[in-house]
Structure 1
Amino acid sequence: MMQPLKQFSPRLLQYSRNLLQGCIKHPQLTRYKSSHSVIPKNQLNFFKRSLSYASPRAITLPTKRDGLSSRAYTTTTEQLMDPKCKVAIVTGGATGTGYSITKKLLCCGVKVLIVDIDGQAGQKAAHILGEQFGQGSVLFYHGDVSCEGHIHAFFRKCFDHFGGVNILINHASVMDACNWVGECDINLGAVAKCMEISFNHLSCDVGVPGGFILNMSSTFALKPFPVHPTYCATRRGVHGLHESYLDPFYYRLRNIRIALLCAGPSNTCKIEKGRSHLPTRELQEEYDRVMVYECKQNPDAVGAAVANMVCHAPHGSMWVVEDGELFMIQYPCYKNCRIESSVRQLLD
């Protein structure tokens, strides 16, 4: 049973109009430019673009029930966001599938801030894509997503250059068995930090129309991965984080769609890096044996999947892109997996 909810209340729309007309000032708009007495032009244009999809249509929310697997979703092709002239941040967007995601979003008319720890690759990606889509449509920030200070800095840079942000793609990840602490910091900790900080920029409770957050995971989070147990664990942790924000309470409060995408292995250098970081020859041989049975897809398939989800993915939905196909999945509820013959009464 679906519960309709209007995406924007009349009060929020009036508040946004007042911002556009300069009748009031919001602290979020002046946090980084406190010397301005009026809204800067780039921020004014950002708000006008953001309100372009604030039409009075209904958004369907999952009904809260006793199990995660009983959440209901619509799989219609209704466009929940028009990507044209929106602004996105893509972490780990300089190489591999991240580059494909960035390029596909630019093709859809989205302005993109690339965040990557590889400065040389990031500058090269921004230069190539800038020549193809226009220098004003893509920007690069050299930073570490596991550092909270860097996260605040690249949101500030996006805010100053583009006037705001509508979309966050948490894509950055590493596969390094020799540095499992770094894996935890980047694959899970950075996702949590980016989400919490993004709520101050995307949420309707700070005076903007809301936005979209896509958390990237892996199909290795859906099955055992013996040669990289910490990578598997951190990717599964993203699922737990994702599920915890799915309650309709958060959607009503912030009007931010949140979705999860598990990407199957792609033909990128990350596969070879994952092998080279294994500490022993035996683990490398086991890695080769496991990866033989994995269907390695074109990175452009992941980019196309992300672009599709920006427009159409319902709030709370979980998807897989594998072998060039995009499909929705649901986690089983543990109550449905109960083995009756194992039940033991512990207290009288």
Structure 2
Amino acid sequence: MKIEGKNVFITGAAQGLGEGISEALLERGARVCIADINTEKGEQTVKRFQEKYGQEKAIFLKVDVTKADEFESVFKDAVSRFGQIDIMMNNAGIMDESRWELMISLNVMTLVRGTNLAIEHMDKLKGGKGGLIVNTASVAGFGPGFWFPVYGGTKHAVIGFTTSWAVRTHDTNIIKLFILYQFQCSKHQTLIEMQYKFCTGI
């Protein structure tokens, strides 16, 4: 898929993995909407991106993706600003067993919600233009998570949900894939590896 000129909506991109992938996309000519609950980090990241890639290349929209109405409203705002969304990346999530209910909500519920929003927008059978949906998964979704059972369970859910949807969207011109990342890697290693894997794999 050609990235240049594509419009990307990515959740949880104010820092970390999402920030790194956003920059990789910007380097290839995309426009990026960073949707995140952290206003301070989000604005800092977008300011840096705008200074480096151009004022019109990146925007920040604050959103609490656990709130359905707010998530939908912000997604529609991004569509209004960009004209359309070509790539939807559901990246928001946490790894914190002590807050397992929030982790399930962020890692699974909001990802399902974001996928459904994107399908509704991209579906060619409903007037959309197709697109790409990227759901952030993990190697933890392929086996037992001894030290993080809830987190591992959420990533199993992501993989199961995305593969199940993939067989239903073949006639809508929507493609879905995973980003798999090793949680053991350092932040720097993770960002570098994911920039390479994401931008060479599309």
Which band: TM-score by shorter chain?
A: over 0.9
The residue that corresponds to 2:189 in the other structure is 297
For 2:18, give the aligned amino acid: G
1:194 to 114, 117, 120: 114
1:95 to 2:15 alignment: yes
For 1:307, give the aligned amino acid: C
- Give distance in 2, aligned partners of 1:184 and 1:217: 13
Moved over 4 A (4+): none
SS at structure 1 position matched to 2:97: coil
1:212 to 2:126 alignment: no
1:264–1:297 CA contact under 8 A, matched in 2: no
The alignment yields a C-alpha RMSD, in angstroms, of: 1.4
SS at structure 1 position matched to 2:92: coil
2:65–2:106 CA contact under 8 A, matched in 1: yes
- Give distance in 2, aligned partners of 1:91 and 1:175: 16
Structure 1: gaps (5+ residues): 1-80, 269-295, 312-348
For 2:135, give the aligned amino acid: N
1:115 to 2:35 alignment: yes
- Give distance in 2, aligned partners of 1:239 and 1:144: 23
2:70 to 118, 132, 150: 150
For 2:192, give the aligned amino acid: D
SS at structure 2 position matched to 1:146: coil
- Give distance in 1, aligned partners of 2:71 and 2:124: 20
CA deviations on 1:39-95 (whole Å, 9 max, x unpaired) are: xxxxxxxxxxxxxxxxxxxxxxxxxxxxxxxxxxxxxxxxxx211111001111111
1:97–1:300 CA contact under 8 A, matched in 2: no
- Give distance in 1, aligned partners of 2:147 and 2:135: 24
- Give distance in 2, aligned partners of 1:267 and 1:121: 20
Equivalent residues in 2 for 1:77-88 (5 A)?
A: 81-88=1-8
CA deviations on 1:192-249 (whole Å, 9 max, x unpaired) are: 00111111211111223200001111112222222211001001100110121122x4
- Give distance in 2, aligned partners of 1:236 and 1:157: 31
SS at structure 2 position matched to 1:244: helix
2:166–2:175 CA contact under 8 A, matched in 1: no
For 1:255, give the aligned amino acid: N
1:168 to 2:60 alignment: no
1:236 to 2:190 alignment: no
For 2:191, give the aligned amino acid: P
For 1:188, give the aligned amino acid: V
Normalising by structure 1, what TM-score? 0.56
The residue that corresponds to 2:198 in the other structure is 306
The residue that corresponds to 2:45 in the other structure is 125
Q: How far apart are 1:307 and its partner, in Å?
A: 2.1
SS at structure 1 position matched to 2:137: strand
For 1:106, give the aligned amino acid: L
- Give distance in 1, aligned partners of 2:119 and 2:190: 32
- Give distance in 1, aligned partners of 2:200 and 2:125: 27
- Give distance in 1, aligned partners of 2:37 and 2:46: 14
For 2:118, give the aligned amino acid: S
- Give distance in 1, aligned partners of 2:161 and 2:189: 27
For 1:263, give the aligned amino acid: Y
Q: How far apart are 1:153 and its partner, in Å?
A: 1.7
For 1:258, give the aligned amino acid: K
1:256 to 2:174 alignment: yes
Larger Rg: 1
SS at structure 1 position matched to 2:166: coil
SS at structure 2 position matched to 1:209: coil
Determine what percentage of the aligned residue pairs are the same residue.
24
- Give distance in 2, aligned partners of 1:172 and 1:160: 22
1:221 to 2:144 alignment: no
1:137 to 2:57 alignment: yes
- Give distance in 2, aligned partners of 1:205 and 1:109: 28
Q: How far apart are 1:158 and its partner, in Å?
A: 1.1
For 2:182, give the aligned amino acid: G
2:181–2:190 CA contact under 8 A, matched in 1: no
Distance 1:303 1:154, change over 3 A: farther
For 1:259, give the aligned amino acid: L
